[in-house]
Structure 1
Amino acid sequence: MVIGSLLAGPVDAIAHAIVTYLVTALAGFAGHLFTGALSWFLAKIVALLGAADQLNIGARALQLVYHQQVELLAAVMLPALILGVISALWRQSIQGLIELVARVPIAVCAVVLAPALTADLASVVDALSRGPLTDIADLPRLAILFSWGRAVPGVGPIVAGILAAIALVGTLALFLELLMRDAGIYLILALFPLASIGIVLPIGRHWFANAARSLFGLVISKLVLAIGVGLGASLILEATSASAAGRLLSLALSGVALLLVVCFAPIAILRSVAFSEVVALEAFSSARSMAVSRLGSLADQGYMASVALNAPWARGSKSTTPEYRGHPVPTAIADLAKTDPWVDEFLNGYKRKGK
């Protein structure tokens, strides 16, 4: 009994240590396996991101649609010009007539030069974005380093798996954002000839301005997002070579936070940079709010219509509200005022009191 009681404590401690070691080893193996799988998938997404984010302004489908819109513009330009001339003559504005005639070649030049200028600007943006976007390629390697504790000491495999999952989802979101950006550029550029008619028509001057500003903002947005992603990846990469442990974790978390903001809240980044304001994205949100308000007004109208249909007078019963016969004429009001005791007291009461 004495020997058993003496051995019970060490045996329990050894068993507890063995169980703790096995659980820690299994958790570490699961974390390494999870992080490795995410890193592999992240590497595939990064490779896909580098291959699929190039604009192709010279695509045959885009050129075909653009030429169709140019033909439609040519058919609409003459009636629009005639209406503008009639409006200027009606207002007797010689300056307006001269300005209208001068705007026609500007519209033609805008339609002719828009694809080439967009392609050149996109090429410059792609060249400037290529460097920051290549920093994303280090994220899979950094995820592996995080999982083994080589990047930031004290960061276990579970935390590394979470960071790898965040990097994976963020990179996928960035990939989808760039695809939507390319789709928006194609759509706005295809409809640019119709927006150019706003140069001639005074009523549509904002069409061309909004289209040009949206097109420029969408092209530039890739550079802004690429710089943000590259800076976030660089901060995480710098955390692997920092000296102080506290600075290691601070840099890593700052890089992850910047990646999250760029990937999941790009509108906040784009609005904070003056030259990258994207009007098209704001137009989507304003259209959504307008649709919601319109649906609300339609719902209110439907509710009022149902109330009117279910009202007593709509079902054939007699209304208790007296029939409106109009306001009495002023002479009738004056006659009633002469015999009204309240009016008499108000006008003649002081006379009787004075007597």
Structure 2
Amino acid sequence: MDAPERKQSVRNAWINRLRDEALRMRRTEVSKCVHIGILIGTYADADGTNAFPGGETLAAIAGSTEETVTRCVKVLMAVGLLKRKRRPNQSSVYLLVLPMGEPVPWEEHLHFYTDTRQARRKKAAKEKGIAELAAKLEASTEDARNPFRDGFRNPFPDGVPETVPAGGSEESGNRSGTGGNTVPQRVPEPVPVGGDHYIPTYGRDPEPDQTWVDHSPQPQERAGEAAEAFEQSAGENQDDQPFGRCEECGQPLLRPGVKRCSAHRGTQGRRRPRERRSKAVQAPLMMPVPSGPEEPSQAAPEPFQQPTSDPFAPRRVCGCGREFRDRDPAARCPDCLYAEHAEAARLNQFGT
């Protein structure tokens, strides 16, 4: 006995056909329209009639806007999968239409989904920007070709530079196309062959309009005459010197109250050096040398030994006001001990 043939309702067949179309096209716009169509089919009866969901309800279920639902319904109606009947003051009633074997023309009617107000506004703004950019490029190109096209200044009345005559001038010494002889021709002076290329000026006056005074020859003086003349002039002008002259050599004195110059004065007027003012230094060893046997040699002072600090000793206050740690009640601070050591070393070295 044969199995009974299974019959499929119009609603289920229509939903399966939409699912197959989404798998065949594999486009985002088609998948969105199929989704809205399947939601509408769930509200229809088994025969595909009496489906009247509202646009707000479909938008809430699909998670989109009512405008998107409206555009999807337009595409489904354009391809012949859905029919709509409007009712006054009520939601529209939809009828599911099952195509009979022919392919669904999605490509011809997807403009109902993509052609929106926002898309048209963006397209217009893009076309306007492209046109403005093209105008700017054209203006910049025109400015580069003719920078004075706006009427500010035209260097050439006819827009074309003046012609320049070809070839050189008939007269020598002029530039090409300049016309007459604007610069007189200059001929260089002849240059003598060999030697210098200028007229020598030695042995004659280079400027004849000036008269030079001739120098008469002067007699030569003997070696002793200059010294005798100086001594004679010194004896005659001795009274003219403000501080007089030296008794030995006759040189003028530079200070009052002296009778001899510094060369003949010797050690007169100098102070005697004070004894033990400075000590002789031995050059090789650079050490002070005692001036005599009576000066005893002094021993070098012992270095200062810093007292060790006991961190566990009680805190004490020195007579100078400083705090230190020491177990001896009569001890003093390290600063006072160092000052006492320095004073003893000074007295040992220099005496009282």
State TM-score, norm by structure 2. Answer: 0.20
- Structure with greater strand percent: 2
- Structure with greater helix percent: 1
> Which of these two proteins has the greater Rg computed from alpha carbons?
2
State TM-score, norm by structure 1. Answer: 0.20
